A = this chain, B = another copy of it.
Amino acid sequence: MNISRGPQAFPRSEYLRRLGSVKFEMGRCDIDALVVSDQHNITYLTGYTALSAYVPQAVVVSIREEEPTFILRRCDAPAAIHQCFMERDKIVAYPEAYIGNPDKDGYDAVVDYLEDVGLASRGIGIELCCLPSQSAEKFRMRLPSATIVDATKAVTWIRLIKSDLEIAVMREAAAISDAAILRAAEVIRPGVREADACAEIVATLVRGANGKPGSGIEGISLCSSPRTGTCHIPWSEDVFRYGSQVNLEIGGARYGYCAGLMRTYTIGSPSDRLRRVHEIQVAGLEVALDAIRPGATCSDVANAFNRSIEKRGLKKETRCGYAHGIGWLEPTASLKDGDMTELLPNMTFHLMLGNWIEEDFGYVISETFRVTDSGVEVLTTAPRKIFEI
């Protein structure tokens, strides 16, 4: 029996809009076919969110066709039929024999498809720099008549500017992030194992907020004393202790979109030093938000923050954030000195102000925001305070 199409996160018109932007860019670059292998770009162009990117798969956007074609592993094809906006004949399954096979893999099926539909001698865009080197080489070797164009971040840059529909989904994700941050304040307690608190925090991320469940689990970092100078440890085997500090980074997820959020907790009163860092950082955060408007650059926002905290004796080494939306880090614009990307309405960022000051001391705060027509809308709304337990 056939599987039917499931409920869709976005209407068909939204996907056609995205494809319109991609095809415009393809025209500009003289590309007839674009091979999209980045899993987050695949989500963007089709709605597919199943966890199959550990084997080769790719969406081919043809300049001649309205809908893209998704070439993926046979056993994952039903999920694609269920999740993607396209008609089922746009889902092309490659055989299981290509899995764990040193001679042939899913990218061979992509090349075969390009040949079958008469695109193998045209301009073909490929996300070359993200592909494993042997796969990039395969495309070059097996498409000798094509004019191969490196299109590594073509779709990634396009998805930096969200539609209002995408913003609505990111608001739902942000509400889940807020709920998890508040839940953490209820479950972080002296004597409680970090894992037991994390279980509750993650459960909140899955249950969601406002009747909208989370639809995936993004990375979670819980860095407690003596690990507050680290940033990417999931959690430890410790129990929380009186006097401990906890730095938490989480992100609610909806349909592949996430909204990062960081807050700092203390069990007992914060030290004077931590309180001072918090005040300086929150003031810097407000200055950074004030600097956000269409026409300002990413560099402007970072420098506004950095100037503000440096005036008060603090310094932050890491960048102040990054493009954010599908798949946490969108590898395009960074909120850092020298990144001259101009802010445009509906660009979304994680304003990531975690500051790892010493090996054994750091503080975190962040917000997920979108650029509006005249300024900024902060999507996350958890109180900007040190949560004192």
Residues of A at the B interface (CB closer than 8 Å) are: 1-4, 6-7, 49-52, 54, 74-79, 81-83, 96, 99-100, 128-137, 193-196, 198-200, 202-204, 206-208, 213-217, 219-221, 226-227, 229-237, 317-319, 322, 329, 331, 334, 336, 339, 356, 358-361
- Across-interface contacts of A196 in B (CB, < 8 A): 207, 213
Q: Give Cα distance in the complex from A81 to B360, angstroms.
A: 11
Q: Give Cα distance in the complex from A226 to B227, angstroms.
A: 45
Other-chain contact of A137, B79, B133, B135 (Cβ < 8 Å): B133
Given contacts A51-B232, A99-B334, A318-B96, contact A217 B203 (CB under 8 A): no
- Across-interface contacts of A336 in B (CB, < 8 A): 99-100
- CB pair B134–A334 under 8 Å, yes or no, is no
Q: Which residue of chain B lies nearest to A7 when distances are taken between CB atoms in the complex? A: B237
A142 to chain B minimum Cβ distance, whole angstroms, is 15
- CB pair B234–A215 under 8 Å, yes or no, is yes
Show 14 A/B contacts (Cβ-Cβ < 8 Å), sorted by A: A1-B360, A3-B230, A50-B233, A51-B219, A51-B233, A78-B230, A100-B331, A100-B336, A128-B133, A132-B132, A132-B133, A196-B213, A217-B217, A217-B220
Other than the known A75-B317, A132-B133, what 15 A-B pairs have Cβ atoms closer than 8 Å?
A2-B360, A3-B230, A49-B234, A51-B232, A52-B231, A52-B232, A78-B227, A81-B359, A96-B317, A129-B133, A194-B213, A199-B202, A202-B203, A215-B237, A217-B217
- CB pair B198–A75 under 8 Å, yes or no, is no
- Across-interface contacts of A129 in B (CB, < 8 A): 132-134
Q: Give Cα distance in the complex from A208 to B236, angstroms.
A: 13
Q: Give Cα distance in the complex from A7 to B231, angstroms.
A: 18
Q: Give Cα distance in the complex from A107 to B200, angstroms.
A: 38
Other-chain contact of A132, B6, B49, B130, B137 (Cβ < 8 Å): B130
- CB pair B213–A3 under 8 Å, yes or no, is no
Other-chain contact of A75, B134, B215, B235, B318 (Cβ < 8 Å): B318
In the complex this chain forms, how many copies of it are found?
A: 2
Q: Give Cα distance in the complex from A271 to B79, angstroms.
A: 23
Other-chain contact of A195, B208, B221, B232, B334 (Cβ < 8 Å): B208
- Across-interface contacts of A193 in B (CB, < 8 A): 213
Q: Which 10 A-B pairs have the closest CB atoms?
A: A195-B213, A100-B334, A133-B136, A199-B203, A79-B230, A199-B206, A133-B133, A50-B232, A129-B134, A3-B359
Most B CB contacts (10 A, CB to CB) among A2, A77, A79, A206 go to A206
Given contacts A51-B232, A214-B195, A230-B78, contact A1 B319 (CB under 8 A): no
Q: Which residue of chain B lies nearest to A4 when distances are taken between CB atoms in the complex? A: B226
Q: Give Cα distance in the complex from A118 to B129, angstroms.
A: 29
Other-chain contact of A227, B54, B82, B219, B329 (Cβ < 8 Å): B82
Other-chain contact of A74, B75, B220, B317 (Cβ < 8 Å): B317
Given contacts A3-B226, A193-B213, A317-B74, contact A322 B100 (CB under 8 A): yes
Q: Which residue of chain B lies nearest to A219 when distances are taken between CB atoms in the complex? A: B51
Given contacts A96-B317, A202-B217, A214-B195, contact A51 B234 (CB under 8 A): yes
- CB pair A99–B360 under 8 Å, yes or no, is no
- Across-interface contacts of A361 in B (CB, < 8 A): 1
Q: Which residue of chain B lies nearest to A354 when distances are taken between CB atoms in the complex? A: B75
Q: Give Cα distance in the complex from A237 to B82, angstroms.
A: 13
Q: Which residue of chain B lies nearest to A332 when distances are taken between CB atoms in the complex? A: B100
A172 to chain B minimum Cβ distance, whole angstroms, is 11
Q: Which residue of chain B lies nearest to A50 when distances are taken between CB atoms in the complex? A: B232
- Across-interface contacts of A128 in B (CB, < 8 A): 133-134
- Across-interface contacts of A54 in B (CB, < 8 A): 329
- Across-interface contacts of A206 in B (CB, < 8 A): 195, 198-199, 202, 235
- Across-interface contacts of A1 in B (CB, < 8 A): 358-361
